């Protein structure tokens, strides 16, 4: 996204719109996909020799859940985006790199499809969000048997 310094009135100017999400350059990422345009709601102000931009940037994305392995959609948003750049009155400022960085820093380290995702059973591999398995129960039974043996 490019802002022309000469466009901005002394009181500042709001930029609201969408940008091709290809500027995020995430096409080759495994387990991550971008599902729509990048949207922004920014307020630009000019100070002597400087451009100050604040606001929010966001995009709809898909991640793979780190617990159950399902792909899920979520909104990635930086609501406190700030960029300050030196620029003269007749210059244009390209904020693409700042926006890209802000979005990437907002990615979850361990994406989960929902807070209470139960994940996969470590023994049989079923998704515990969708079905129950008997592994736990069996394990408990084994210990009960062993406890019984020890007592003898």
Q: Is 92 in the site for Zn ion (CB under 5 A)?
A: no
- 76 membership: H or E segment, kind and range: strand 71-86
| Number of residues located near Zn ion, criterion CB under 5 A | 10
For Zn ion, the binding residues in 20-59 under the rule CB under 5 A are: none
Q: Is there binding between residue 124 and Zn ion (CB under 5 A)?
A: yes
Which residue among 68, 93, 95, 99 contacts Zn ion (CB under 5 A)? Answer: 68
Tracing tokens 């399902």 back to the chain, one arrives at 70
Query: Residue 35 contacts by C-beta under 8 Å, 6 or more apart in sequence?
Result: 59, 60, 61, 62, 73
Sign of CA dihedral 110, 71, 131, 137: negative
Cα–Cα distances in angstroms (integers) from residue 52 to residues 57, 79, 101, in the given order = 15, 16, 17
Tell me: does residue 120 bind Zn ion (CB under 5 A).
Answer: no
Residue from the set 44, 67, 83, 93 that interacts with Zn ion by CB under 5 A: 67
Q: Which of 23/133 has CB closer to Zn ion?
A: 133
CB of 152 to Zn ion, least distance (A): 30
């Amino acid at each position: 996204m490019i802002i022309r310094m000469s466009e901005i009135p002394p009181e500042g100017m709001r930029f609201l719109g969408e940008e091709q999400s290809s500027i995020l350059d995430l096409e080759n990422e495994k387990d991550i996909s971008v599902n729509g345009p990048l949207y922004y709601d920014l307020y630009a102000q000019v100070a002597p020799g400087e451009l100050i931009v604040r606001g929010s940037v966001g995009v709809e994305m898909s991640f793979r859940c780190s617990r159950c392995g399902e792909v899920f959609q979520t909104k990635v948003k930086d609501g406190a985006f700030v960029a300050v750049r030196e620029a003269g009155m007749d210059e244009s400022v390209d904020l693409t790199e700042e926006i890209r960085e802000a979005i990437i820093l907002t990615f979850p380290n361990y994406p989960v499809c929902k807070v209470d995702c139960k994940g996969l059973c470590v023994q049989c591999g079923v998704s515990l969000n969708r079905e129950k398995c008997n592994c736990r129960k069996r394990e408990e039974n084994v210990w009960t048997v062993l406890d019984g043996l020890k007592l003898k």
